[in-house]
Amino acid sequence: MIKGNLKRDKENRIAKFLVSGPPLLFLIVFFAAPSLIMILTSFRFPGEFGGLAPLVSPAGAAPGEFGLTPEAYQFFFSNVLYAEIFLKSFGVAAATTLICLIMAYPLALLIARSEKRFRNLMVLLVVLPFASNFLIRIYAWMIILGPESGFSHAVNAVLGAFGMGPVTLLFSPFAVMVGMVYVHLPFMVLPLYTNLEKHDSSLLDAALDLGASAWQRFWLITWPLSLPGVFSGAALVFIPVLGMFAVPDILGGTGDILIGNLIKDQFLGTRDWPFGSALSIMLTLAVLSVAGLATWFARSAIGSVHKV
């Protein structure tokens, strides 16, 4: 009996190793190791012609900058321009999150309160445009906001009627915001819907019987109960916006640079790898703190609802 158990234990361990080993190995090599390399790179000296200076001074070389250095981080903190770009990225991410929330909430609420047989279709209709190519979704707004588009003409006609000069919509902070919201909206709808769908409608009926107005029923029941969904949706929008470079790159003007564009330039433009890596580490820290905050808020929201 004991012998059989031992054999089974051994088999178990072998099975566990066979199933979890290959993906673990692959991800250690191609995810964990690259992340560590990035941390290491952020502490190195940039090479003379881009790339990196060697870690160890080559034999016979003139004394130069080899080994490790916190220079990239010092550079980041010594120049207020970079802090401003980080701050601006946080602002854009916060604004995108808020606009997505305002647009997604009524839709998610409607889907959650629709008849069961329509719900899946309504959710699919939200996800479907999101499945089309990311660049195409941004490009579509290049057409709509372009100077010769009907939309641009209409906006300028309205502005003209109020005596305001014509505006260019494309390559502006406005275009960046529109693109950001458009690309990330489904990330907000889905967690909100998943949350709202679980609400017990008898709570609302009880509130109605007790004389609560429509607004009171929403503000005192639906909204607090939906907070976990709000926070996970907010994290799902905020985090990718923070690292986005394609939307400002395509829809924004020269001044609309965010963290992502700054990082991209260090690798494909000016080729300062250590500084690019340091910026990536700063972005990672920002993402981790946002994710941590969202989890904490969501937990405390659940906690306070339970106390009530």
Partner 1 sequence: MKRSNKWLWSAAAVVYAFLYIPLAIVVVYSFNDSRLNAEWAGFTLSWYKALFNNKEMLTAARNSLIIALSASLGATVLGTMAGLAIHRYKLKVLPVLVFTPVAMPEILLGVSLLLFFLQVLNLTLGMISIIIAHTTFCIGFVAIIVRARLQGMDESIFEAARDLGASRWQTFRLVTLPLILPAVIAGALMSFTLSIDDFVITFFTKGVGEPILPIQIYTMIKVAVTPEVNAISTLLMLLTLIMIIIASKLEGSAASDGISRKETG
Q: Which residues ranging from 210 to 239 are in contact with partner 1 (CB under 8 A)?
A: 214, 239
- CA proximity to 243, closest of 263, 221, 220: 263
Site for partner 1 in 45-64 (CB under 8 A): 51-52
Q: What are phi and psi of 61, to 5 degrees?
A: -80, 155
Distance between CA atoms of residues 62 and 44, nearest Å: 18
Binding partner 1 (rule: CB under 8 A), the pick from 7, 10, 15, 157 is: 15
> Minimum CB separation from partner 1 for residue 64, in Å?
19
Distance between CA atoms of residues 264 and 260, nearest Å: 6
> Minimum CB separation from partner 1 for residue 304, in Å?
26
Asked if 293 is part of the footprint of partner 1 (rule: CB under 8 A), the reply reads no
Distance between CA atoms of residues 212 and 189, nearest Å: 27
Please identify, using beta-carbon distances, which residue of 159 and 285 lies nearer to partner 1: 285
DSSP string computed for 67-123 = SB-SHHHHHHHH-HHHHHHHHHHHHHHHHHHHHHHHHHHHHHHHHHHS-HHHHHHHH
Please identify, using beta-carbon distances, which residue of 37 and 164 lies nearer to partner 1: 37
Side-chain-side CA neighbours of residue 106 (13 Å): 3
> Minimum CB separation from partner 1 for residue 300, in Å?
21
Stretch that binds partner 1, among 11-19, 61-69, 165-173, 224-232 (CB under 8 A): 11-19
Binding string, residues 179-208; x marks residues near partner 1 by CB under 8 A: ---x--x-----------------------
| Tokens read off for 252 | 């924004």
Binding partner 1 (rule: CB under 8 A), the pick from 1, 3, 30, 209 is: 30
Binding string, residues 129-168; x marks residues near partner 1 by CB under 8 A: x-xxxxxxxxxxxxxx-x-xxx------------------
Binding partner 1 (rule: CB under 8 A), the pick from 9, 10, 24, 300 is: 24
Stretch that binds partner 1, among 36-44, 62-70, 71-79, 164-172 (CB under 8 A): 36-44
Distance between CA atoms of residues 245 and 222, nearest Å: 36
> Minimum CB separation from partner 1 for residue 163, in Å?
26
Please identify, using beta-carbon distances, which residue of 193 and 301 lies nearer to partner 1: 193
- CA proximity to 187, closest of 234, 137, 244, 132: 234
Contact (Cβ atoms closer than 8 angstroms) between residue 258 and residue 88: yes
> Minimum CB separation from partner 1 for residue 113, in Å?
7
Asked if 176 is part of the footprint of partner 1 (rule: CB under 8 A), the reply reads no
Binding partner 1 (rule: CB under 8 A), the pick from 250, 293, 302, 305 is: 250
- CA proximity to 136, closest of 235, 42, 250, 221: 250
Asked if 285 is part of the footprint of partner 1 (rule: CB under 8 A), the reply reads no
Contact (Cβ atoms closer than 8 angstroms) between residue 52 and residue 273: yes
Asked if 260 is part of the footprint of partner 1 (rule: CB under 8 A), the reply reads yes
Asked if 16 is part of the footprint of partner 1 (rule: CB under 8 A), the reply reads yes
Q: At what angle do helices 273-307 and 80-113 cross, to 10 degrees?
A: 40
